[in-house]
Structure formats: structure tokens, C-alpha cells
Amino acid sequence: LVARMRPFGTTVFAEMSALAVRTGAVNLGQGFPDTDGPPEMLAAAAEALRSGHNQYPPGPGVPVLRRAVAEHQLRFHGLTYDPDGEVVVTAGATEAVAASILALCEPGDEVICFEPYYDSYAASVALAGAVRRPVTLRPGDDGRYAFDPDELRAAFGPRTRLVLLNSPHNPTGKVFTAPELALVADLCREHDVYAVTDEVYEHLVFTDAAATHLPLATLPGMWERTLRISSAGKTFSCTGWKVGWVSGPAPLVSAVLRVKQFLTYVNAAPLQPAVAVALALPDDYYTGFRDSLQRQRDLLIGGLTDAGFTVLTPEGTYFVTADITGLGGRDGLEFCRSLPERCGVVAVPTQVFYDDAEAGRRLVRFAFCKRPEVLTEAVTRLRGLA
């Protein structure tokens, strides 16, 4: 194995999902829903399979999906992208992130990201021979995660090539506020660097959040320097389909396509038109989806609090993080490895998403993208810890 990949073992999601299978525990580790997405989307996929959409689709993605992606961004965020040249379909957001970094970074270039960060980011940066510059998100007295603006300023330097920003943020559930985004945008313009935004949870911002979701590309001077990434997996409960997309100015998107064509070439021909159907669903779908996730969040938070965790209420995403100190826990990794035996529930230690593991030592992440009866069972088991 090449040196640049040696620091990366098996992903924590694979380890914890295997642990759940082995022990029969309720799996609140890996973030995947246990229900299927909208029936209209599933029917469209079945129809596409039956009607001959089974060969390589066009390199940038099928036109009907690229159009739907562009219309969706105009409808929800007022962002304008030309479906021909400014939108490319990818094998999930994961490929979009990897291809964007590989397309923009020379070896030695620096990528600023907020830690804890989604685990593929570090690997994609390493594959490009680039260097990550994490800025730490820490829970404040108000229960919200925040970064130190001076730490962010200090992260920018002559080798900074891009900022990789995930909001709503996995694993913290943080939704970056308008002033926070304005600072990120100011620094990107000042240092003339690109932004790559991972917005896979764009439709999962809860009604009691302090912020609404604001794509970085909507800020002044940012559209022209931002690659905006999203995917169908989270919004339409189809994480196994791996249909994502990246939008941005034509020169940047064509650079991504240059790389992408040699990573996967294309993917998911019969699923692409089905995702187009889903993107066009009326607003009711999106608000109903958010409301059910918010109820699931509250159910889980109640159980975690009763069990003795200190919960950091998420403003968005599929996830809640909690501090284990109240339960006598000192190390989240140890805690998560023993949790299935202690109470039959699997969670994910947040420390694995930090370079500064100490900052996340006592934090663990639970997924609530599960049916209420599954969460109720998990909560019953967790209460046994108290």
C-alpha cells in the first residue's frame, strides 16, 4: 500500500456496522435510513430498468437529471446553473468530493476543513498529495458547536488552495450561520481560493435551528469560485444508489469531469432519471421528510438524556452527538466498542473524525434516521445504562 494511504484503516462505519451485525445490536452508527424513499422515485427507477436504460449514460449524467438538479437549486436557493456544462452527475457526493479535490489540488496544496470532518475528506486530500488544515469545532456553553475565527484566519496561507465546507455538518449537526459563512467567504475572496461545499443534508435543517441553510455559493463573489455538491442518498433515503452531483462555473466543473471520467466514468443509468423525478417533488415532500426526522431526533434525545448523556442538540442532519462523561465514560472509542455488550446499541466515536482526537475524546454520535419503533427500542436499551 502506498505511504499516503497507510494512515487509513477500515472506515469506522464498516467496523461499527459489522459489530452491530455480530452482536445483534440496534445500529445507530452508520447513517442510513431503514425505510425506502418516495414511491414515485422507486416506480420511476423500476420503469427505467424495464425500459432499456441499462447502458452507459452520458459522461456528465443524463440530461433530465442535470436539468432537475439545476431547477432544484433555482427553486430552493435562487442559484442559477446551466445544466449543460455547469452540472455533472457523480457516484454519490463521495466521488464528487474526491474528484473536486483531485481536479483542483497540486501536491502540497492545502485544504482547509472543519473538524470533526466526514472521513472521506482526509483520504481524498491524501490521494491528491495535498495537506489538510483542520479548524476545530468545539461545543460552547450554549450547546452549539463553533470555531474560533482567529483559528480560521490563521489556517489560510500561501499554499491554501481550497476550503472544504460541510453544512449542515456531519457529525455535529451544526448548521453554519450567515455570519460564519460570511467570514469563510471573506477569507476565500481575500486569499483567492476555491470553496468546495458538501451540502448533502441541505433539506435537513430543523425548525428550531438558529440558522437556515445558506449555500456558500449564494454569498457575494462566491458562485464563481465554488463547487457545490449534493446527493440523493440523504434527501430521498436511498444511500445505496450513490447518485450525487456537483455544480459550479463551467471551467471548474469541466475540471471535475476530466477526473471523474477516469474514476468511475459514469454510474447508475436507470437511477438517474428516477432521482430527477424525486427532485421535482412538491415542497410537502421536503417539509414532511424534515418533520419526521425532527420527531425521530427528539425521541432519541429524550432517551439519551434519561440515560445520562449530555446531548448537543443538532440543528440538522441525521445525527446527534453526546458527551459520555456523565456516564463515567472517558474515551468514546472504548465506549462505543463496549456499548453493544452493555446495552445492545451501536454508536460511532466522534474522535475518529478529528486530527486533534483529544477534542472529540468524550463525544459519540448516534444516527436517528431510523423508524420510530427502532428508536424506541434503542432508547429502552439505552435507559438501562442509567
For ligand PMP, the binding residues (CB under 6 A) are 31, 92-94, 118, 166, 170, 198, 200, 231, 233, 239, 242, 244
Q: Please tell me whether the peptide bond between 171 and the residue prior to it is cis, using omega within 30 degrees of 0.
A: yes
**286 is a site residue for ligand GLN (CB under 6 A):** no
Shortest distance (Å) from residue 143 CB to ligand GLN = 21
Q: Of the candidates 27, 136, 170, 235, which one interacts with ligand GLN according to CB under 6 A?
A: 170
| Site map 6..45 versus ligand GLN, x via CB under 6 A | -----x-x----------------xx--------------
CA-nearest of 370, 319, 320, 378 to 344 is 378
Shortest distance (Å) from residue 158 CB to ligand PMP = 28
- Beta strand 131-136 with 110-115 is parallel
Alpha-carbon gap, residue 169 to 364, rounded angstroms = 15
**Contact 319/365 with Cβ under 8 angstroms?**
yes
Which residues on neighbouring strands pair with residue 323, listed in sequence order?
310, 363
Of these partners, ligand GLN, ligand PMP, none, which one is at the site of residue 13 (CB under 5 to 8 Å by kind)? ligand GLN
**Which CB, 275 or 307, lies closer to ligand PMP?**
275
Of these partners, ligand GLN, ligand PMP, none, which one is at the site of residue 244 (CB under 5 to 8 Å by kind)? ligand PMP
Shortest distance (Å) from residue 100 CB to ligand PMP = 12
CA-nearest of 239, 316, 283 to 31 is 239
Of these partners, ligand GLN, ligand PMP, none, which one is at the site of residue 198 (CB under 5 to 8 Å by kind)? ligand PMP
Shortest distance (Å) from residue 4 CB to ligand GLN = 20
Instruction: State which of positions 304-323 bind ligand GLN (CB under 6 A).
Output: none
Of these partners, ligand GLN, ligand PMP, none, which one is at the site of residue 30 (CB under 5 to 8 Å by kind)? ligand GLN
Residue 67, all three cell numbers: 436539468
CA-nearest of 319, 313, 296, 311 to 373 is 296
What are the φ and ψ backbone dihedral angles of 21, each rounded to 5 degrees?
Answer: -65, -45
Sequence-distant (≥ 6) Cβ neighbours of residue 198 within 8 angstroms:
93, 97, 118, 164, 165, 166, 229, 230
Sequence-distant (≥ 6) Cβ neighbours of residue 75 within 8 angstroms:
none
Shortest distance (Å) from residue 281 CB to ligand GLN = 23
The residue ranges that bind ligand GLN (CB under 6 A) are: 11, 13, 30-31, 170
